[in-house]
Structure 1
């Protein structure tokens, strides 16, 4: 999830370049309403978005038992959000701009690929 279209497209292209299927959403609500939650194997989410934040969305996913491995990215990191994300089992909490190799590392970790 990413509300910034240019960041969303760049991340989509990066993940597709590795041969993985990608679904993108511009909000947490769009993702939650999509029906894609149960097939999602790795989630990359912005923290600050209109409506539900990435952290709030992740909490909802945890409550339903359908929280995939999650990488949070943010342009406005806070100690509180980082602590919450890590306490809730996030793979990573990364500050923008995020190096593409770092994103790939965490996606590979989530998918169990070398």
Structure 2
């Protein structure tokens, strides 16, 4: 397991997924790697919490009721928030189509995610942010 560094313990990863078990598993993995986590059961909950100002990396499901992960990312960009984002999906053939002015997407991974690959994507996302 990777060591906790001051950068990691000061870094917040937001996890947005409507599936309780997936959200819990992702939170456990990310937290065990030394990051702070905040979890949300929907894109609307994430946006309503005004969590974008405290989020260093966004890990989100694509297909959720109410608002998709893609719609959430597009809304964040439209309001001036650029958060490196990793999408996860149970439908790997359905890669998201984003406009050219949305460079925030770091990766799109299938569910279930390979833990090492996900953590490497988070590292890449954080390098993009800093």
Same fold (TM over 0.5): yes
State the TM-score, normalizing by the size of structure 1.
0.89
Q: Which has the higher helix share?
A: 1
Q: In 2, distance between residues paired with 1:85 and 1:94?
A: 19
Runs of 4+ in 1 over 3 A off after TM superposition: none
8 Å contact kept, 2:70–2:96: no
How many residue pairs were aligned? 111
Q: 1:48 aligns with which of 47, 63, 74?
A: 63
8 Å contact kept, 1:86–1:92: no
Partner residue of 1:75? 90
8 Å contact kept, 1:12–1:24: yes
Q: Which has the higher strand share?
A: 2
Q: In 2, distance between residues paired with 1:7 and 1:31?
A: 16
> Structure 2: which 5+ residue stretches go unaligned?
1-15
Change beyond 3 A, Cα 1:85–1:18: farther
Of structures 1 and 2, the larger Rg is shown by 2
For the aligned residue pairs, the C-alpha RMSD in angstroms reads: 1.7
Give, in angstroms, the shift of residue 82 of structure 1.
Answer: 2.9
8 Å contact kept, 1:76–1:95: yes
1:32 to 2:61 alignment: no
